[in-house]
Amino acid sequence: MAEKRDELRCFQVTPLATNCYAYVSEGECLVVDPGGSGAQVAEHVRDARVTCVAATHGHGDHVGGVAALVRATGAPFAIHAADASLAARAGQMSEVGRSYDEDAPAPDRALSEGDVLRVGTATFTVMETPGHTPGGVVLVGGGSAEGVAFVGDTLFPGSHGRTDLSGGDEAQIMASLARMADLIAPETTLLCGHGPATTMARELATNPFLR
């Protein structure tokens, strides 16, 4: 009998081409960063039961689709408490003059360091990584999701997320990147909030902000 395998799906949403991810395991689904098009994302995960909608941080391009996705699936919304008010303004004009589909609802679950999200045989452990925003988190896979991590806008290949927006903090993001380098296994695939994925090993070798 063929071994059942988890599945990672990626949808690009919003004009900023945010990566919205769906992690499917044993018929359950975790959706990460539905920045827009929540109803369409729900259609693309209809074959699974969405057990959690999580945001790596509260910027509109990562949470603008949460409200529609939650309406379509009934799933709880999880985000760090420090970014909940930011998420609640996703549909309004931001400091850089952009708005997204809809304000995110109040979270059903506040994420903090060490919390574990379970989906099928996979786990995702919350690592607090402030700096891009005060409530930014990385979700580190375990169980059948060992070897992947959702890193939001904290790290990009060779770079890190911007720290010049409200609530951003350069010293904090440097500390967050150092913790990631310490705690995330080198072979881990890092799934970024925009653009291509990378690995921790590659970043340790090439990312000037990790050295």
Q: Which is nearer to Zn ion, 63 or 122 (CB)?
A: 63
Give min distance, CB of 75 to Zn ion, in A.
22
Give min distance, CB of 99 to Zn ion, in A.
14
**CA proximity to 22, closest of 128, 188, 161, 148:** 148
Q: Which is nearer to Zn ion, 59 or 80 (CB)?
A: 59
Give min distance, CB of 52 to Zn ion, in A.
20
**CA proximity to 59, closest of 155, 143, 135, 142:** 135
Q: Which is nearer to Zn ion, 41 or 173 (CB)?
A: 173
* CB burial of residue 196 (10 Å; 0-12, 13-18, 19+): exposed
The number of residues that bind Zn ion (CB under 5 A) is 2
Q: Which is nearer to Zn ion, 141 or 152 (CB)?
A: 152
How far, in Å, CA of 32 to CA of 84, rounded? Answer: 15
Q: Give the count of alpha carbons within 13 A of 133, CB side only.
A: 23
Interface residue with Zn ion among 59, 80, 160, 194 (CB under 5 A) is: 59
For residue 102 the two structure tokens come to 């809809």
Cα–Cα distances (Å) from 50 to 24, 29, 169, in that order, read 9, 4, 33
Interface residues for Zn ion in 146-175 (CB under 5 A)?
A: 153
Give min distance, CB of 132 to Zn ion, in A.
6
Q: Which is nearer to Zn ion, 98 or 179 (CB)?
A: 98
Give min distance, CB of 45 to Zn ion, in A.
23
Q: Which stretch binds Zn ion (CB under 5 A): 57-65, 73-81, 84-92, 168-176?
A: 57-65
* CB burial of residue 105 (10 Å; 0-12, 13-18, 19+): middle
Q: What would the DSSP string read from start to end of 94-127?
A: -TTS---S-PPPPPSEEE-TT-EEEETTEEEEEE
Q: Which is nearer to Zn ion, 122 or 151 (CB)?
A: 151
Give min distance, CB of 59 to Zn ion, in A.
3
Please identify the residue of the shown chain whose CB is closest to the bound Zn ion: 59
Residues at the contact surface with Zn ion, assessed by CB under 5 A: 59, 153
